[in-house]
C-alpha cells in the first residue's frame, strides 16, 4: 500500500514538483495551498488526490484541514512542511512586521502542523516528517539574516524532534537545497524598503545577485522531487538531505570554519569551570 503524502505550499516550487511526481507514481496525495484554486487542477479526475485550502499560519485551519485529509484517506504517512518564503535585506534594513510574518510561516506554521500531526503518527506507530529547510539553515549570508534565522530554527527543531520520535517509529528528514529554479528569489520573496548605503557592498550586492539569478539557478525542482521520494522510501532515511552540487561543499566549509574556532579556543573554553581560576592568573 502506497504511503499517503500531505504537502503544504503545493502551488509552486518544490511543493508543486513533488506533488506532480507523486501523482505520476500513483501515490495518494493531499495537496494544499492558501488559495485552493492554485492546486485544484492537480486533483481533477484523480481519486487519489485531494486538494484543500491551507494557510499554515491559521491554527484552526491547520486542524480542520488535517481532519478532512484523515477523513478522506484514513491516515497520513508523510507530512511535507514546504510552505515558506524568503526575505532579502540587511538586518538593520529589515521591516520588523515583515520578518515576523516570515517566522510565522517558515517556523511557527511548520511547528503547528507538526504538532497537529504528531498524535496521528504516534497512534499509527509510523510516519515521516519532511521539513524543507535550506543550505541557508546551515550557512549564513548577507541580506539573508532573518531567512537564515528562520531556517536555523527549523534545523534545531527538527533535530530535536528526530531524537524524540525516532524510538516511536517516526522519521524526520531535513531537505537542505541550494540554488534551485523556483520562484524563491522572484516575486515570492519580499525585500527591504529601507536601503542603507553602508550595506551596498554586502547585503545590497547579495540582493542584486539573487534577483539577477532568479530563473537561472542550476537546480531542477523536478529532479529534487525524485531525490526526496527516494530518501523517504529508503530503509535508512537520512536526517539531512542536501540537494544541489554546491550545497555539500558550502556546508562542509561552514563546518570547517566552526571547527577552526573551536580548536583555536578549546583551551580557554575548557577552563571556565569552578576551580579553573589558576588558568587565568
Q: Name 219's bridge partners.
A: 180
The closest of 57, 49, 52, 58 to 27, measured between CA atoms, is: 49
Residues 73 and 47 in one domain: yes
- Residue 225 cell numbers, joined: 522531487
36 and 99 fall within a common domain? yes
Q: How many domains does the chain have?
A: 2
* Catalytic residue from among 11, 134, 150, 151: 151
Torsion of CA 34, 7, 144, 215, to 10 degrees: -90
Could you tell me if 183 and 273 lie in one domain?
no
148 plus 263 within the same structural domain: no
Query: CA-CA distance, 172 to 1, in Å (whole number)?
Result: 21
First to last CA, the chain: 68
Q: How far is CA 63 from CA 11, 14, 119, 148, 208, in A?
A: 20, 23, 12, 28, 40
Confirm if 76 and 4 have CB atoms less than 8 A apart.
Answer: yes
Question: Do 174 and 225 fall within a single domain?
Answer: yes
Q: Are residues 277 and 138 in the same domain?
A: no
170-177 and 127-132 as β-strands: parallel, antiparallel, unpaired?
A: parallel
pLDDT in tens, the chain (281 residues): 899 999 999 999 999 999 999 999 999 999 999 999 999 999 999 999 999 999 999 999 999 999 999 999 999 999 999 999 999 999 999 999 999 999 999 999 999 999 999 999 999 999 999 999 999 999 999 999 999 999 999 999 999 999 999 999 999 999 999 988 887 877 778 888 899 999 999 999 999 999 988 878 888 999 999 999 999 999 999 999 999 999 999 999 999 999 999 999 999 999 999 999 999 99
Identify whether residues 158 and 174 lie together within a single domain. yes
State the catalytic residue, choosing from 27, 87, 146, 147: 147
Residues 153, 280 within the same domain: no
- pTM exceeds 0.85 for this model: yes
**Residue of 11, 17, 19, 133 marked active site:** 133
In sequence order, which ranges of the chain are alpha helices (DSSP H)?
13-24, 40-43, 59-73, 96-103, 110-124, 145-165, 205-213, 221-233, 247-264, 266-269, 277-280
Q: What is the DSSP letter of 45?
A: T
Q: How many residues does the chain have?
A: 281
CATH code for the domain in which residue 18 is found: 3.40.50.720
Is residue 151 among the annotated active site residues?
A: yes
Count CB neighbours of 32 within 10 A.
32
Helix (H) or strand (E) holding 63: helix 59-73
Judge if 188 and 256 occupy the same domain.
no
Are 149 and 12 found together in one domain? yes
Looking at residue 93, the DSSP 8-state letter turns out to be: G
Give yes or no: residues 50 and 119 share one domain.
yes
Residue 44: give the domain boundaries.
5-245
35: CB partners within 8 A, 6+ apart = 11, 53
Are 117 and 167 within 8 A, CB to CB? Answer: no
The verdict on 145 and 271 lying in the same domain is: no
Amino acid at each position: 500500500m502506497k504511503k499517503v503524502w500531505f504537502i503544504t505550499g503545493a502551488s509552486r516550487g518544490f511543493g508543486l514538483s513533488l506533488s506532480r511526481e507523486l501523482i505520476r507514481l500513483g501515490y495518494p496525495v493531499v495537496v494544499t495551498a492558501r488559495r485552493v484554486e492554485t492546486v485544484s487542477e492537480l486533483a481533477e479526475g484523480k481519486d487519489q488526490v485531494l486538494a484543500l485550502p491551507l494557510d499554515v499560519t491559521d491554527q484552526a485551519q491547520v486542524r480542520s484541514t488535517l481532519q478532512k485529509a484523515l477523513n478522506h484517506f484514513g491516515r497520513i504517512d508523510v507530512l511535507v512542511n514546504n510552505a515558506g518564503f524568503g526575505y532579502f535585506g540587511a538586518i538593520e534594513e529589515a521591516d520588523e512586521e515583515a520578518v515576523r510574518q516570515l517566522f510565522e510561516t517558515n517556523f511557527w506554521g511548520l511547528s503547528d502542523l507538526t504538532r497537529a500531526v504528531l498524535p496521528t503518527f504516534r497512534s499509527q506507530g509510523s510516519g515521516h516528517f519532511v521539513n524543507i529547510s535550506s543550505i541557508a539553515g546551515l550557512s549564513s549570508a548577507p541580506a539573508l539574516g532573518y531567512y537564515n534565522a528562520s531556517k536555523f530554527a527549523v534545523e534545531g527543531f527538527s533535530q530535536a524532534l528526530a531524537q524524540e520520535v525516532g524510538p516511536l517509529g517516526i522519521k524526520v528528514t531535513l531537505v537542505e537545497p541550494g540554488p534551485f529554479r523556483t520562484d524563491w528569489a522572484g516575486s515570492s520573496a519580499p525585500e527591504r524598503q529601507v536601503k542603507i548605503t553602508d550595506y551596498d557592498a554586502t547585503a545590497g550586492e547579495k540582493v542584486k545577485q539573487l534577483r539577477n539569478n532568479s530563473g537561472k539557478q542550476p537546480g531542477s525542482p523536478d529532479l529534487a522531487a525524485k531525490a526526496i521520494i527516494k530518501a523517504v522510501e529508503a530503509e535508512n532515511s537520512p536526517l539531512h538531505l542536501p540537494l544541489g552540487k554546491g550545497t555539500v561543499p558550502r556546508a562542509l566549509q561552514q563546518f570547517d570554519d566552526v571547527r577552526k574556532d573551536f580548536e583555536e579556543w578549546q583551551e580557554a573554553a575548557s577552563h571556565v569551570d569552578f576551580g579553573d581560576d589558576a588558568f587565568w592568573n
